[in-house]
Amino acid sequence: MAKKSKKYEAEELQAAVETQPEPIPQMPEPEATVEQSDEPQNNGQFQPKPAFHLEHDGTQYKFTRFPLPKRAGKIEEGDIQVTIDGEEQPAWITASRGWAADDKTIEYIWFDLENAKGYITLDYGVSAQEFNGAEFTRGDGEANRKDPVRVPKDQTKEDNRKALAASTVAKKRAAKEEEPEEVDEENTEE
């Protein structure tokens, strides 16, 4: 009788495998975090879009272009509502609590603007909730205010993180430099 139950389980498993849909391919990671202009320059290379800042009550905040955090997809209405140049928009809040020194926590407000996604960095100890209903204006160029310096909870981990990031960037640059040479060789053979 044990053989019959094993055979039945095997047939059931085979039927489940045959009726299971093909897996959905995963979306690739974003290739670049800096948005680029739509028009190539004279040399055919795309140039980064010009910098801008958001101003609130006389303080200019640097707008850093970056893909939105996962919470933006989960909470479409945003954590807070802000007005930018007269248009009400949702905004999301993240904080550095997980990696920053206890007295050096920084909060970030994330925006999904018409032509840019990214965040502004608040000062140490300033709650992003205080900006609920705040009015911002968009200004061209860099902000006159510098973002606070990152103060880690564990300096050794921070140094290792920076070294790993530098190593990754160097590997990507080296791979990119090798890539055009291979393309050129293929073009010369034709």
Nearest to 142 by CA among 67, 55, 56: 55
Q: Where are the domains of the chain?
A: 52-140, 154-184
Nearest to 151 by CA among 108, 118, 106: 106
User: Going by DSSP bridges, is the β-strand pair 135-140/80-84 parallel, antiparallel, or unpaired?
Assistant: parallel
160 in Cβ contact with 168 (< 8 Å): no
- Residue-wise pLDDT for 121-157, tens only, equals 999 989 999 999 999 999 999 999 999 988 888 889 8
What one-character DSSP code corresponds to residue 40? Answer: -
59 in Cβ contact with 109 (< 8 Å): no
What one-character DSSP code corresponds to residue 47? Answer: -
- Residue-wise pLDDT for 59-117, tens only, equals 999 999 999 999 888 999 999 999 999 999 999 999 988 888 888 889 999 999 988 99
State which H helix or E strand residue 176 sits in: helix 155-189
Most confident stretch, 6-15, 22-31, 93-102: 93-102
95 in Cβ contact with 106 (< 8 Å): yes
Which tokens go with 102? 């206890």
| This prediction's pTM | 0.63
